[in-house]
Structures are given as structure tokens and as C-alpha cells.
A and B are shown apart, each in its own frame.
Chain A
Amino acid sequence: MSFSVTEPSVRTKWFAGLLVIGYAIVTLIPLVWIIATGFKSPADSIAYPPVVVFEPTLEGYVNLFTDRTRATEQMLENAGPPTTWYEMIVRDRGTVISGPSRYGERFLNSVIIGFGSTALCMILGTMAAYAFSRFKVPLKDDLLFFILSTRMMPPIAVAIPIFLMFRNLGLNDTHLGMILLYTAVNLSLSVWLLKGFIDEIPVEYEEAALIDGYTRFQAFYKVVLPQAATGIASTAIFCLIFAWNEYAFAVLLTSGNAQTAPPFIPTIIGVAGKDWPAVAAGATIFLVPVMVFTILLRKHLLRGITFGAVRK
């Protein structure tokens, strides 16, 4: 038991704890609802009053990954009895699988573009951050502010000329184009965050390495990079999440080939109207990795969301 006058009383702690936990539970309801809806049957998903206890089914996930058509008697005869569990689910609804849906492709696009842009962004960002942190760069403050200000522009405002530019360069709706674009969008974040992390590494380490006969490059990748590893990793996760979640550029600049999951998920429809379990299944697969990353990032969250302006 502490006797500090500033330590809150046990009763205060209980009260504060209850309120916060209450808020946390309320705020989680929509997320739990998304995940639960993914395991409901279409009838359960739109039942009134909303059902909390239901028989879980994977129908939403099957519908998410397949395209289906209504089966005629003849088709059923030709196809024979269902051989896999997912075919059985589909047959129960009087439909047959006509092929894979495009969700897999879109998800893969998200992975390729997310990881590609993050990798590129980290390479460029680490180099620039190191230079800004250690060297006298002319107009340093102006350049840093310029880098930050690129983030203030509404994406739609620059989308018009980027659209024209990409069209002329043949980059519209390509992975490369989206990777370059997301790299540019995330560079401001990575440079500012990484500069903060590198600033915290004592210069003496490198100076010692330089005296030992290392070149600047060697000092950079043998001394600074290992020291900054945690910072680089958390910055990378932030860049990945931003690229993963981005919607405005994706919906304007991609249509088929390089479309990512965020513009695609809302367009999922079933045979009769909106197939909410399938939408929820798609959303769950897309959102859960981010929640895992959030837990990994929890110590650096604040820094990431404020571009390094606030450090604990």
C-alpha cells in the first residue's frame, strides 16, 4: 500500500475501472457483431430481434470465396453427389459452385501492395531519417516540414493529376503504381517516426565505430540499424496498416487488376440482395490481422499516430 498523496484511493480506482471497462465493452460490440455475423446463416443475420445465440455455420465464408449459380435438376444430376463439405453447404441452398470469387485475388493484391510499399517505404525512410538525424542537411527544417505537409492534402485533391499521370505512364490499375503511390503517402510518417527513433540512439556508438575504421555506410548498417530495429519494426507495421486500410486512392485508381480489398468488400452481393454474412466474413479476415498488429504495437501506438510528435 502506498502512502503517496497522489495515489488514487481504492474506491476511485474501482469506479474508474468500471467506467472504462464499460466503455470498452460498448465499443467492442460492433466488432464482435462483425465477427459473429460472419458465422451466421443469412436468415439469422437479418432476424428480428437480432439473435445473439445461433448455430454457427461457415456458409458466409463459403459464399465469400465462391461464385454460385442456381442449380437446375439437370446440373445436379450431372454433377453427382457433393464431395466436399463446402459443396454440401452450397447444395443445401439449391445452388452449385460456378467458380472461385474474386475475394482471394483482391486480398492477395492488398498483401502485395501493402508489403511492397512498406518495404520500399522503410528503405527510403530509414535512409532519409538517418541523414536528417545525423548530418547537416541544408534547409533541414523546411524539408522536414515539406515532407509532413504532403500529408495534409486531401487524397481526392491530388488524385486527378495522379490519375492523368498514371494513365500516361501506363501505371493505372497496376501493382507498381499503387506501391509507388502508397510509398509516397507513407514516407512522411516513416521519415518523421524513424528520425525520432534514430535521434534516441547515442551518436557516440557510431563515433566509436568510425574511429575503429568503419566507413559511414558500415557504421550505418552495422551499428545504427541493429540499434533502431524495434523502431523500424513498429514504423513498418504502421506503414503496413495505413496501406492496408487505404480506400480513396484504391477506389479511384484501380478497378480490376490491382484492386485491393477495401473497395471490393462493400461490393460483395449474394444471389438475392446483400449477402451480409459473406460481407462480414470478408471484413473479419481483413480486420483481424490489424487487431493482432495493434496488440504488438501497443507500446508505440501513440508515437505512430502523432507522427512522433508525442513520445511517452
Chain B
Amino acid sequence: MTKSAIEGAAKKTPDRLARRIRGLSDRTIAWIFVAPTIFLLLAVNIFPLIWTIRLSFTDFRVNRPNNDVEWVGLRNYERILSDPDIWATMQATAHFLIWTIVLQVLIGFTLAFLINKKFRGNDLWTTIIVFPMMLSPAVVGNFWTFLYQPQIGLFNYVIAFFTGADPASFSMIGDVNLAPRAIVIADTWMWTPFVMLICLAGLRSIPDSIYEAAECDRASKWRQFWTITIPMALPFLMLAVLFRGIENFKMFDLVVQLTGGGPGNTTTLTSIDLKREAFERWRTGYSSAYAVILFVTVFGLASIYVKALNKVKER
């Protein structure tokens, strides 16, 4: 930068303002820079959260604003925790979480392991595999209902082609037993690349010299895999599980478009149930308590998990 450029910039700013900007301490600048972000997050995240907590102790209903709002203490929480339907929802969510994470970790890690063999064109294929993950889950989920149609759906046709079953004889999203699998398949299709990318970073972070040393010690490939590859990629794998866990605990868009929570309540995940309570039955106080319970659960589980993750990293 030349001197004239600086003088030009200085001239453009009015004198008093220039002195003030020049005179600002780093500390003041830091606050000016951080404040808008913090303010917006307080207004759109923390303030609503506090409001939710407050509402959770009342019997407020949005659709009846003229009713007297009564302070009900912990009754909402008691009702939620003793409601068998909500435990069924929790169970459905847990099943969904476990299956998606297991499948995605297995497939994702295998893919990363294969891509790490550095065959020609691996970058191109990695990018192609990543596509589903970047797309809108609602739009994609909606289209999967078409793939899942009995008779005309492509998914049913392919399954029928390989198993010889009648493609009209089963409905992935209409059958009580198949619907939970349908959402796992779609979610796995969509999010396996996510796990793959993180695992790939983990595998690439292992220095070649370690494998070379193992070769010198005549360790078998199998042994190298279990004593070098897995332990060194483990922190990355755990990070992937953390991200997927949090995301799928909040899962809403993909599943609500796919099955809408049905048939019955078989695919009603917690977020879908919460949406029904809050925006269809309009039990605002009750659903606020529900939201608080969910938030505490995800935050608690995540904190415990992060502690474990840090321990693995330290080793």
C-alpha cells in the first residue's frame, strides 16, 4: 500500500470521526465487532429459550389467548414423563438414531478406507458421493415417497427384481414394520457421505511413517489395521457420530416429508411429536415443557460424549 492511498482514506473520513476511530482501543473494537452477533443470538435463541422455560410451567394455549393463564408448576413435566406415548416416541427416536449411526459409520468408514487407497479419479468420485448430503432434506424426502410407492416406485421395483417378490405387495411407508426401515434407508442414503468425509480426513491424518515402521516390524496388514488405523481414526469417527447424533435427534424435515410420522406412531420421532403438540393441538405450555426436556437431553448427552471424546484424543 502506498502512502497516498492511506492519505486518501484518511481524507475521506471526516476529521472528528477519523480521530475517534483511530483513538478506539482494541478492546472497544472487539466489543463493537462481537456485540451485534451476541445481540442477535440472544434475541433469536436465548430469549425464546427462556420464554419456553417460563411457558413450560403454565397451561398457556396460543389458540386461546383470552383464557386465563394459570401457573401449574411442574405438572406439565410430570404428565410428559409419565405418558407412555412419549416414551414410545423416544423409543422410536432411539431406534432411528442407533440404526442410522451404525449403518452410516460402517458404510462411511468403508468408503473412506477405499477412497484412501488413492486410485485414480478418487477426488471426482468423492465429490459425486457427497451430493445427497448437500440437498434439501424436505424436497428429497418428498421425492423418496415416490421411489417408495408400491407397484410404480423404483425402490420397490428394484427390490422385487432381486427378490422376486411382487412390487405391489409391500409398501415401505405404509407398512407398520417397514416404515421405520424406510426412514433409516433414506437417512443413510443422505448422510453416509458426511461420515465418509470425516473418516477420510482421519485416515489422511495418519502419517505414512507409522505404517512404514510397522512394515519393518513385519506386522501383518490386518494387525496394522486394528492397531494403527482404527485407534488413530477413532477421534474422527467419534466426532462424526456426535454430529450425526445431534442432527438426527433433531430430525424433522426428511422424516416428516417421508412418512409424516405414520403409519400409526411408528415413525413419530420426538421433533414430529413436538410439532403436533405445539402447532396442531396448540398445547403451548405442555409442548414447551416437552421442548425443555428434549433440549436438556441432547445437551446432557452431548456434554458426556464430548468428555469421552476428549479422553480418546488425549491418549
Chain A residues engaging chain B, CB cutoff 8 angstroms: 4-6, 8, 12-14, 16-17, 19-21, 23-24, 27-31, 33-34, 37, 46-50, 124-125, 127-128, 130-132, 135-137, 143, 146-147, 149-150, 152-165, 180-181, 183-185, 187-188, 191, 209, 212-218, 222, 241, 244-245, 247-248, 251-252, 261-263, 265-266, 276, 279-280, 283, 286-287, 290-291, 293-295, 298, 301-302, 305-306, 309-310, 312
Contacts and interface: CB of A to CB of B under 8 A. Distances in A.
B310 to A, nearest CB: 12
Contacts of B225: none
Interface in B280-315: 284, 287-288, 291-292, 294-295, 298-299, 302
Most buried by A among B136, B194, B243: B136
Q: Which 3 pairs, one residue from A and one from B, show the smallest C-beta to C-beta distance?
A: A157-B291, A17-B119, A184-B44
Interface string B103-146: 00001000100110111111101111111111111111011101
Contact of A241 (B132, B134, B157, B197): B134
Given A20-B114, A280-B143, A252 B37 contact: no
Contacts of B127: 294-295, 298
Contacts of B142: 265-266, 279, 283
B37 A5 contact: no
A128 B34 contact: yes
A50 B139 contact: no
Contacts of B137: 245, 247
Given A128-B34, A154-B249, A302-B197, A245 B154 contact: no
Given A17-B119, A294-B130, A165 B30 contact: no
B21 interface: yes
B301 to A, nearest CB: 10
A184 B48 CA distance: 12
Contacts of A143: 34, 38
Given A165-B48, A287-B136, A154 B26 contact: no
B51 A164 contact: yes
Contacts of B6: 212-214, 218
A157 B52 contact: yes
B77 interface: no
B302 to A, nearest CB: 6
Main secondary structure of the interface of B (DSSP, over half): helix
A304 to B, nearest CB: 10
A295 to B, nearest CB: 6
B36 interface: yes
17 contacts: A20-B122, A23-B107, A127-B32, A149-B299, A150-B46, A152-B246, A152-B299, A152-B302, A155-B250, A161-B51, A165-B48, A216-B26, A218-B6, A291-B131, A302-B197, A305-B194, A306-B198
B96 interface: no
Interface stretch (B84-92, B173-181, B270-278): B270-278
B71 interface: no
Contacts of B40: 124, 180, 183-184, 187
B33 A46 contact: no
Nearest to A120: B40
A160 B1 contact: no
B120 A301 contact: no
A245 B135 contact: yes
Given A128-B34, A132-B34, 20 more contacts: A6-B215, A17-B117, A34-B143, A48-B167, A49-B157, A124-B37, A128-B33, A131-B29, A160-B48, A161-B48, A161-B55, A162-B48, A165-B51, A184-B41, A213-B6, A216-B29, A245-B134, A245-B136, A287-B139, A290-B134
B271 A50 contact: no
B114 A16 contact: yes
A310 B198 contact: yes
Main secondary structure of the interface of A (DSSP, over half): helix
Contacts, number: 300
B41 A150 contact: yes
A159 B278 contact: yes
B62 interface: yes
A187 B41 contact: yes
Given A31-B132, A127-B36, A287-B139, A152 B157 contact: no
Contacts of A24: 125, 128-129
A6 B274 contact: no
B274 A157 contact: yes
Contacts of A161: 47-49, 51-52, 55
A144 to B, nearest CB: 10
B143 A283 contact: yes
Contacts of A279: 142-143, 146
A222 B1 contact: yes
A160 B291 contact: yes
Contacts of B208: 4, 6
Contact of B37 (A155, A187, A217): A187
A262 B43 CA distance: 26
A153 B49 contact: yes
A294 to B, nearest CB: 5
A21 B131 contact: no
Contact of A135 (B1, B26, B189, B270): B26
Nearest to A21: B125
A213 B47 CA distance: 42
Contacts of B133: 305
A29 B123 contact: no
Contacts of A132: 34
Contact of A23 (B119, B129, B131, B257): B129
Given A5-B211, A154-B298, A27 B139 contact: no
Contact of A252 (B48, B51, B167, B275): B275
